[in-house]
Structure formats: C-alpha cells, structure tokens
C-alpha cells in the first residue's frame, strides 16, 4: 500500500511541476488554456484536500 501511495504522489507531483512550468512559460498558452489549467488545478486541490481530511479522520 505504501508503494502505491508513493507512486501516486510522484505522479501528482510531476503533474503539478509540469503545470507550474507551463504557467511560467505563459507566452505559449492562450487565455482559454490558462482558464482550463486553473480549473483542473482547483479540482485537484479540492480532491486532495478531501483525501487528506479522510486520512486524518482515520488516524484519530
């Protein structure tokens, strides 16, 4: 189970890193792409927040 969580963390981390790299190079992105990226990142943060909350409640 730990290996699965580690792999998931690596994948999510690389996605966030790629997103930050694309945002830093804003010349290559249109406004529509920026809005879409922002929406996806907010969804990702919301989902990860609920997962972290569930894990904390399990540990209590």
Q: How does the average pLDDT of the chain come out, rounded? A: 74
Mean pLDDT across the stretch 37-52?
78
Instruction: Using the structure block, give the residue that is written with the tokens 């998931």.
Output: 8
- Residue 1 has a pLDDT of 45
Largest CA distance in the chain: 47
Domain residue extents for the chain: 2-59
Answer positive or negative: Cα dihedral of 16, 21, 34, 32.
Answer: negative
Binned at pLDDT 50, 70 and 90, residue 45 comes out as: confident
Mean pLDDT across the stretch 32-44?
79
Asked if the model's pLDDT at residue 39 lies above 70, the reply is yes
Q: Per DSSP, which regions of the chain are E strands?
A: none
pLDDT digits (tens, 9 = 90+) for 7-27: 777 888 887 887 777 766 666
17-44 exposure pattern, b = at least 16 Cβ within 10 A, e = fewer: eeeeeeeeeeeeeeeeeeeeeeeeeeee
């Amino acid at each position: 189970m730990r290996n699965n969580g580690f792999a998931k963390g690596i994948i999510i981390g690389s996605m966030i890193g790629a997103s930050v790299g694309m945002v830093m190079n804003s010349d290559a992105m249109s406004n529509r792409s920026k809005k879409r990226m922002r929406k996806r990142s907010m969804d990702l943060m919301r989902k990860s927040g609920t997962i972290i909350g569930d894990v904390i409640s399990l540990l209590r």
